[in-house]
A and B are shown apart, each in its own frame.
Chain A
Amino acid sequence: MDRETIAKVAKVARLALTDEEMERYAQDLDAILNSFAVLDEAPASDTYALNPVPVVDVLREDEPAQEIDPQLLRGQMGTYEDYVRGPRLS
C-alpha cells in the first residue's frame, strides 16, 4: 500500500498519522491485505446476508416514554444552557 493511499484512508477515517505511523501502518496493511488474497479463490456467489442468523423487525406503538433522565445525558455531553456544543462547520 503506497503512502498516498494510506493518507487518503486516514483522512476519511479522521485520523492524523505521523510519518512513522504512516510508514508502519502501510507496511502492516500491505502484509494483511496480501494474506486476504486467498478470498479471490473463494467461489463467487450472490448469496449473502448481513447477519449469520435471520433477523426480524421489531415494531411497537409509537408512545412517548422516558427511561433515562435527560439531565444525565446532557451531563455526559457537556451541554451549555441546554445546547449541545460542537465545533465550527466552516
Chain B
Amino acid sequence: MSAPSTYALIQYAQRRHLAFTETVDGLDEGRFHFSAKDNLCALGFQARAGSAVLEGYRPPFDATPIHRLKAAGGQLVGKTTMDEFGFGSFSTNSAHGVPLNPFDPDRSCGGSSGGAGAAACLIPGHIALGVSTGGSISGPASFCGVVGLTPTYGRVSRYGLIDYGNSLDKVGLLSRSAASIAQHFGTIAGPDPKDPTSCAQPPLAGKGRMPSSLALPREAMENLDPAVRKAFQGALPVLRGMGVAVEEVSMPSLRFALPAYYVLATSEASTNLARYCGMRFGRREEEFNQHFNDFFTGVRSEGFGDEAKRRILLGTFCRMVGFRSRYYLKSLAVRQMLIGEYRRVFQEHDAVLTPTMPFLPPRFEDIRRMTPLEMYLADFLTIPPNLVGMPHVSVPCGYVDGLPVGMQVVADHWKEMDLLELAKGWEGAFLYTFPEVRP
C-alpha cells in the first residue's frame, strides 16, 4: 500500500484529531508545508487564538515568522488548535476544538500548542509553528512524541503574535525530527525592526557545539509519576553512551519559579486582553446606546472562556495597589535570581536536563477532575526555562504503555544551535516511534 499523501494526512489530522482550526483546500507540491498556531496572524485565515471573543477576526497581514517561511518557499497549510490565548496545559480550554492525542485519542495533546504537537506527529516532515509562554511547546512535544524547540526570548520576532505575556512569549517549532527544525529555524530567527525585543540578539551560530556535560537538578526529580521517572532514567545511559556526562546538582530557587511565572504571566495577560472590548477585533457589539462600561463588560463576559476569566482576575488582583510589591515586583526579582542560578550551573555544565512533563498524557476524564491549581502545578518543569527566557528543546526519551515520555534540555541564552546538535545526536542513539496513521 502506498504512503498516504501529505494532504490526506492533513485532512486526517483535522478530522480525527482536531489538530487544525482551518486548512487550505489543496497543496502546492512545489513548496514545503508548515502550519501555524492560531495565535499567529496570517493572511487568508481567521486568527482567533482559541477564543470566542476573536470570532471572525481576519488579520490583513502575516506574522513575521509566517512571512519568512513563505518567503523561503513554504506554504501555510493551516492554523492549529490551542488553549484560549495560550491559557492551559492540555488544550482543553479552547472554543474551536480540543485536539486529541495521536497515540491515544482519549488523552490530551498537552498545551497550549496542542494542535501543533498533533500535526507535527501525524504528518511526516511537517513543520509546526508553536508559541510558548510557560511550556506550550515543550509540553505538547512531550505528550505527542515529537521534538519541540523553544528559542531564547527575543530570538524570533513576535510581530503578528496575539500576545499572552509580553516578557515571556516565544515563537518556536515542532516537528518529528531535530534535523527538520534545524533546517527551518534559521529562517524564522533574526532581528525584525517590527519587534524591538528581537533586535538585541547576537547572530545565530551556523553550527552548534554539542553539549558534553548536563546538570540534572534533584529538585526536578521530585513529584514525578514513577513511570515517567523510570523512562527518563532509562535515557541517561544512552546519553552517557553518546559521551554526554550527566551530573546531579541542586537548584533550590526552582521552587520560586512557578508562582513567579503565574504572577508575571497573568499580570501581563490581564493588560493585554484589555483590548478585547467589542470594537476593534473579532466579536463586535452593536448596542452602541449602552454606557461604555456596560458595553465592554458585556462583550468580555460573553466572549472569554472560564480559564481566561480566571487568569484576568488573578493578574488584575496581583497588579492592584497594595499587592504590586508583594507579587509583581517580587516575581521580577525572582526571575533575575533564577537567571543567576542557571548561570552558576552553566559555569560547570553546558546545559540543564530534566523530564519535560511530570506525568504521561492524561485522559480527558482525569483532566476534568483537576483543580485549576493542580493544572498550574503540571507545568513545574517547563516553567523555569520559560520564565528566564532560556532556549530549551524537548525530545522523546522513552515510551510507557505506548505513550511517549519527553526529556527537556535547557541552555544559556542564544545557544539554540547547541541544543539542536544534541537533539540531532540523540536521534542517532534513540529510535522514535510514531503511531500508524491510516487516513
Query: Do B332 and A48 have beta carbons less than 8 Å apart?
Result: yes
Chain A neighbourhood of B337, CB < 8 A = 42-43, 45
CA separation between A58 and B281, bound complex, in Å?
27
Chain A neighbourhood of B326, CB < 8 A = 39-40
Taking the nearest CB of chain A, how far is it from the CB of B318, in angstroms? 9
Identity of the chain A residue whose Cβ is nearest the Cβ of B387 in the assembled complex: A52
Which residues of A from 1 to 57 have beta carbons under 8 Å from B?
1, 5-6, 9-10, 12-17, 21, 25, 28-29, 31-33, 35-36, 38-57
Taking the nearest CB of chain A, how far is it from the CB of B129, in angstroms? 21
Taking the nearest CB of chain B, how far is it from the CB of A18, in angstroms? 9
- Return the contact of B332 from the options A49, A56, A68 (Cβ within 8 A): A49
Question: Is B24 positioned at the interface, with any CB of A under 8 Å from its CB?
Answer: no
Question: Is A62 positioned at the interface, with any CB of B under 8 Å from its CB?
Answer: no
Q: A25-B313, A28-B373, A29-B314 are in contact. Are A16 and B298 (CB under 8 A)?
A: yes
Quick one: which of B152, B310, B339 has the most chain A CB within 10 A?
A: B310
Chain B neighbourhood of A87, CB < 8 A = 285, 287-292, 294-296
Query: Do A38 and B196 have beta carbons less than 8 Å apart?
Result: no
Residue interface bits B320-344, CB-to-A below 8 A is 1, else 0: 1000001101111111110100000
CA separation between A34 and B376, bound complex, in Å?
13
Identity of the chain B residue whose Cβ is nearest the Cβ of A50 in the assembled complex: B167
Residue interface bits B254-269, CB-to-A below 8 A is 1, else 0: 0110011011000000
Query: Do A86 and B309 have beta carbons less than 8 Å apart?
Result: no
Identity of the chain A residue whose Cβ is nearest the Cβ of B255 in the assembled complex: A38
Question: Is A63 positioned at the interface, with any CB of B under 8 Å from its CB?
Answer: no
CA separation between A77 and B294, bound complex, in Å?
19
**Interface stretch among B56-64, B104-112, B213-221?**
B56-64
- Return the contact of B320 from the options A12, A17, A77, A84 (Cβ within 8 A): A12
Chain A neighbourhood of B274, CB < 8 A = 14
Which residues of B from 350 to 396 have beta carbons under 8 Å from A?
371-373, 376, 387-390
Query: Do A58 and B58 have beta carbons less than 8 Å apart?
Result: no
Q: What is the interface residue range for chain A against chain B?
A: 35 or more
Taking the nearest CB of chain A, how far is it from the CB of B437, in angstroms? 38
Chain A neighbourhood of B280, CB < 8 A = 76-77
Chain B neighbourhood of A5, CB < 8 A = 317
Identity of the chain A residue whose Cβ is nearest the Cβ of B56 in the assembled complex: A76
CA separation between A38 and B387, bound complex, in Å?
17
- Return the contact of A14 from the options B200, B293, B317, B336 (Cβ within 8 A): B293
Chain B neighbourhood of A40, CB < 8 A = 326
Query: Do A6 and B313 have beta carbons less than 8 Å apart?
Result: yes
Identity of the chain A residue whose Cβ is nearest the Cβ of B276 in the assembled complex: A14
- Return the contact of A85 from the options B263, B277, B288, B389 (Cβ within 8 A): B288
CA separation between A40 and B287, bound complex, in Å?
46
Chain B neighbourhood of A89, CB < 8 A = 291-292
Which residues of B from 200 to 259 have beta carbons under 8 Å from A?
200-201, 253, 255-256, 259
Query: Do A72 and B60 have beta carbons less than 8 Å apart?
Result: yes
List 9 additional contacts besides A13-B313, A33-B314, A48-B329; criterion CB under 8 Å: A14-B297, A14-B300, A28-B371, A38-B256, A38-B259, A50-B167, A86-B279, A88-B289, A90-B291
Contact sample, A vs B, 19 pairs, CB 8 Å cutoff: A6-B313, A9-B317, A14-B274, A14-B297, A14-B300, A17-B301, A25-B313, A32-B262, A32-B373, A35-B259, A35-B373, A39-B330, A41-B256, A45-B336, A52-B413, A53-B201, A55-B196, A85-B288, A88-B288
